[in-house]
Every structure is written in C-alpha cells, then in structure tokens.
Amino acid sequence: MISFTSVPDFEKFVEIFTGLYRATFGYSFGFGLCTLPVSIFLVHIPNSQNWVLVDAADPGSPQKLLSAISAHFASFPNHNLKYVVITHCHFDHTGAIPRLLEEYKDLKVILGQPELPFIADGVQYSELSGDTYIYQAYKHFANPTKVIVSRDKILALEEGKENEFEFFETLEPICTFGHTPGSMSYLHRPSNSILIGDCMMNLPSFPSFSPSIQLAPPITTHNMKKAKESIKKIAELEGVNYVFLSHDQSEKGLDVESVRSFAKSLKP
Ligand SMILES: [Zn+2]
C-alpha cells in the first residue's frame, strides 16, 4: 500500500503551479486505525500581497495547519491572508476555522449559501436542507467543540452570484452541490486547476490497495444524484487541465482525462 505521508507536501505547503500551493495532512479516525489524507491549498492572488486558503483542515490538525501556514508565510513577509474559502462544511474541512480567525483578525470565510447552517452563528443545523445526520452525529462525538462562526465573518455565495467573491478572476467559485447541499469547487484560472473538495476521492481500494478515483461514501453524501451531476459538470468544464481532490493520494492531483473517463462510467 502506498503511504501518503511520503508525498512531498506532507504537512507543508509546496508550490504545484505558479501561485498554487498544496499541503497534505493526515486525519486519523476509527480509534486511530484509519488515516485519511486531507489536502489544503494556498492561492496567491497575482500582483498583490493577498492570499486565499482553500479549506481548513480536520479537527485534529489546527495547530499543524497554523504552523504550516506561518512557515510558508515566513518567505512572504508582507502577506495578507484575506479569505478562507470552503469546499463544504463537513468537519474534516472546517476544523481549524476558529484558530484561523483568532490568528488572522481580518480573515473572512467564503462558502456556498446552503452551507450556512453547518457553521454560521444563529442559523440552526435543523434549517439545513438535508445532510447525512449520521455524519454530523459523528462530528458531535468525535469533536465536541463545534465550529461556530460569527455571521459577519462569512460571505455566503448564492448560485448565480459567484462573482461576488473578490478574487473571482483568479479563483472562480463553481457550484458543485451534492456531496453536501452547498458544496463548491474553485477553479484556479492561472493553472487551469480545479479544487473540488469531496465530489470524488482518490484513495486505496480493495483488493489492489492502489489509489483509484471513487465517489465519496454514500454515508457521507447528502445527494448522490446531484453529486454525480456535479462530477459530470466538472468533467465538461472548459479550461480545466488538472483536478485536485481533498482526499487524494496522488502527488500532483489528477489529469482531467482520468476524471472525464470516471464521469462517463457513472450511472445516473
Ligand atoms: Zn472530506
């Protein structure tokens, strides 16, 4: 079995394409028996001091993520980490948000509008238009400290208004609902790379134990039909050469052709 801890970006940000950096963390669960790779990205906005973080790690890694970010920014003394954009609000993608907001006072959180009930202060989880309750029960027992974010720290993007995100031209938000009610992907235009969260995963599979592209498990997925439609949408987007998943054992993401053939193999 290939170990993802040997990837060059394990717990540190490595530049994959100009202005796009990835770090991989390990999230242990199931009493430490399983470890899932979790990818986090940093995007530099060209001709500026501004940076965007994509996703915020699992509940076990806030300090590791904070350390990796400060080690990275040591080389960019005038940096401004302005936004953390979230692919979706499951706990393995939001765990470090409270620590990030403490550390970076002006940081704003960007997410898809239907995701608000996961984390926004004053919005009840019961208002969420469906999710896998078992997943959230797991969140409750695995991590009793819930991630609650003050509403004035959040910019929630509605479908059709994705260009309200200030850095839309560098990092275009694209609605890819299904895995959760408001899952988003982000297209890094300078490198034609799309960061898609958990629409798909690239993990070892039985019996070969070599990584293969697969759907997220149904137990974690809100609407599988929509998730498959979103995968087809990603496969058909123009200007995409590389696809980066959150749970991925590959060193440098997936070639879009492999995602296209996976999308074709999906039954509705
Ligand atoms: Zn995930």
CATH number at residue 159: 3.60.15.10
Residue 254 Cα, ligand 1 centroid: separation in angstroms? Answer: 17
What pLDDT, on a 0 to 100 scale, did the predictor assign at position 219? 83
Domain of 196, in residue numbers: 4-265
Residue 38 Cα, ligand 1 centroid: separation in angstroms? Answer: 7
CA–chain centroid gap for 41, Å, is 8
Say if CB 106 and CB 82 are below 8 A apart. Answer: yes
Query: Pairing mode, if any, of strands 171-175 and 154-157?
Result: unpaired
Could you list the beta-strand ranges (E) of 76-121: 80-85, 108-112
Residue 174 has pLDDT above 90, yes or no: yes
Residue 260 Cα, ligand 1 centroid: separation in angstroms? Answer: 21
Say if CB 83 and CB 48 are below 8 A apart. Answer: no
Most confidently modeled range among 11-25, 137-151, 242-256: 11-25
Residue 247 Cα, ligand 1 centroid: separation in angstroms? Answer: 7
The CA distance from 190 to 201, in Å, is 24
**Mean pLDDT along residues 136-145:** 59
What pLDDT, on a 0 to 100 scale, did the predictor assign at position 143? 55
Residue among 69, 91, 100 nearest 140 (CA): 91
Residues 6+ apart with CB under 8 A from 7: 24, 37, 249, 251
Residue 208 has pLDDT above 90, yes or no: no
The CA distance from 7 to 151, in Å, is 37
Q: What percent of the chain stands above pLDDT 90?
A: 69
Residue 6 Cα, ligand 1 centroid: separation in angstroms? Answer: 20
Say if CB 202 and CB 249 are below 8 A apart. Answer: yes
Total tally of structural domains belonging to the chain: 1
Residue 90 Cα, ligand 1 centroid: separation in angstroms? Answer: 6
Number of residues in the chain: 268
Query: Mind listing the pLDDT tens digit for each residue in 58-81?
Result: 878 899 999 999 999 999 999 999
Say if CB 149 and CB 109 are below 8 A apart. Answer: yes
**Mean pLDDT along residues 92-99:** 92
Query: Exposed, middle or buried, 209 (CB in 10 Å: 0-12/13-18/19+)?
Result: exposed
Residue 129 has pLDDT above 70, yes or no: yes
Alpha helices, DSSP H, located in the chain: 62-73, 97-103, 116-119, 133-142, 224-236, 256-265
